[in-house]
Amino acid sequence: MDNVLAPYLNASDEEERQQHLHELLTLRAAPLIRNVLLRRLGFYVSAQGVNENNQDAEDLYQEAMTQVVQELSQLQSSTGTDIGNFELYVSRVAANRCADFLRAKSPARTRLKYSLRDLLKRHKDLTSWKHEGELLCGFATWRNTGKSPFSDQSYEDIEAKMDSFKSLHFADEDVRLAPLSQLLVELFDWILGPVEIDVLVRMVASLLDIKDQQIESLDDLALTRWDRYFAANTQSSPSHLEANELLARLWQAVIQLRAEQRDSFALGFKDEAGQDLFSILLGAEIVSWDELALGMGRSVEEVVRLRLRMPMDSAGVADALESSRENVHKWRFRAIRRLKTELKG
């Protein structure tokens, strides 16, 4: 058993055990899970497990944490399996969650969803609309009404009904040859009420026999490729001294940028280890909290608050700067170009 688990397993009472569990989760498991989500999926989650712009990221983080807690509880009741390396175990849990997510995500269905949303948007007789937090679709005359009870069935039940639909509406023709808009019209006519876009996607995918190929291995390949790319294109320094010099130059160049470029770059920055810029600068003693605040043109309170959410994804930066993601992308793009020139010298 990994020694880091000993205080938790040997706690003398429940209160002490909960204290150690809390420490294991916040100090060891959470940073690892965040890092795996970031590296595997590009999902940013704050240290509190929050990303208001990405529900999937929050869900995956919580699922991984829950699985770790369950395993630790079983260890404590001696029904669990031995954990020789806690950090490795947590990383595997998070990586498996990412793989499950990618499997369920289904690129082919996502593409079909994009096509259907576009068709619904452009065809004058069809439409989609938000209703109670869900994206519904149907005939334009149904706009802003609630979904039909049809949507309440399980996906399996709905898919099972597709054969019946096909025999009723496409008995004498190949449904795959029918125009997509005609297929939607026949489906809406059959359902007789609005449905969630994801239900529509399921139905159309089933009718058109759209399936995904295995994607797990592809994702692993992509990760390895990025690791290689990163290794070939990074600016790194073998010694601690050189690393600090490189970091100090980077910081000096960053604070010379225009405010929005500086923020778009700094708030989203992560190094190869996945650490945010403020933590790296503080850890390397390049800056104090006051200097950090001064360089970022903010108060210490604001800097502390921002660091809790760093590194941020584009949506997070856009929220923090009260701007659009598109603007953040542009500011970041300009910042990178400028920094490249500055650091070359």
Partner 1 sequence: MTEHLSTLRVKQLAVSALPEDEAMAAVVHTAECPSCHERFVEELRRQRGSTPFSFTLEPEFWFRDNHVDFDLLVELADKTLDEEMEEIVNIHLKTCERCREDVRSFLASREATAREMDISYVRPDDPATHAGAAPWWQRLQSRPVYAIAAIVLLAVAVLIGVFALNKSSGPLEASKQDQTNSVTERGPNISPSPAPDVASSPSSAVDSAKVTILNDGGGEVTIEKNGRVTGLDEVSENSRQYIARAALSEQIELAEVLRRLSGGQSGLRGNDGGPQGFRLLYPIRRVVTEDRPVLRWQSLPGVLSYRVYVLDADGNQVGQSEELPPTQRLWKTPRLRRGQTFSWVVTAMVNGKKVVSPSASAPEIKFAVLSTADFQELTRLKKSNSHLALGVFYARAGLLNEAEREFESLSKLNPESELPRKLLQSMRSMKKGN
Q: For the segment 5-24, give every residue that binds partner 1 (CB under 8 A).
A: 23
Q: Restricting to residues 48-67, which ones interact with partner 1 according to CB under 8 A?
A: 48
User: What is the smallest separation between the CB atom of 289 and partner 1, expressed in angstroms?
Assistant: 5
Q: Rule CB under 8 A: choose which of 67, 187, 269, 287 binds partner 1.
A: 269
Residues 85-104 as x/- pattern, contact with partner 1 by CB under 8 A:
--------------------
| SS3 call for 295 | helix
| Position 233, amino acid | N
What is the distance in angstroms between the CA of the first residue and the CA of the last residue of the chain?
51
Element (H, E) at 134: strand 134-139
- What is residue 214's DSSP assignment? P
Largest CA distance in the chain: 76
User: What is the smallest separation between the CB atom of 81 and partner 1, expressed in angstroms?
Assistant: 27
| Position 80, amino acid | G
Q: How far apart are CA 295 and CA 290, in angstroms?
A: 9
Identify which range of 70-78, 89-97, 255-263, 305-313 contacts partner 1 by CB under 8 A.
305-313
Q: How far apart are CA 345 and CA 341, in angstroms?
A: 7
Token pair 């170009």 in the structure block, residue: 337
Q: With CB under 8 A, what is the number of residues at the site for partner 1?
A: 103
Token pair 């240290």 in the structure block, residue: 47
- Indicate the residue among 74 and 182 with the shorter CB distance to partner 1: 182
Q: Restricting to residues 270-299, which ones interact with partner 1 according to CB under 8 A?
A: 271-273, 275, 279-280, 282-285, 288-290
Q: Restricting to residues 128-157, which ones interact with partner 1 according to CB under 8 A?
A: 138-139, 141-142, 145-150
- Indicate the residue among 80 and 283 with the shorter CB distance to partner 1: 283
**Alpha helices by DSSP H, 3-85:** 6-9, 14-23, 30-41, 55-76
- The reply to whether 169 sits near partner 1 by the rule CB under 8 A is yes
- The reply to whether 172 sits near partner 1 by the rule CB under 8 A is yes
Q: Restricting to residues 235-254, which ones interact with partner 1 according to CB under 8 A?
A: 235-238, 240, 243-244, 246-247, 250
Q: Restricting to residues 174-213, which ones interact with partner 1 according to CB under 8 A?
A: 177-182, 185, 189-194
Sign of CA dihedral 201, 203, 209, 215: positive
- The reply to whether 27 sits near partner 1 by the rule CB under 8 A is yes
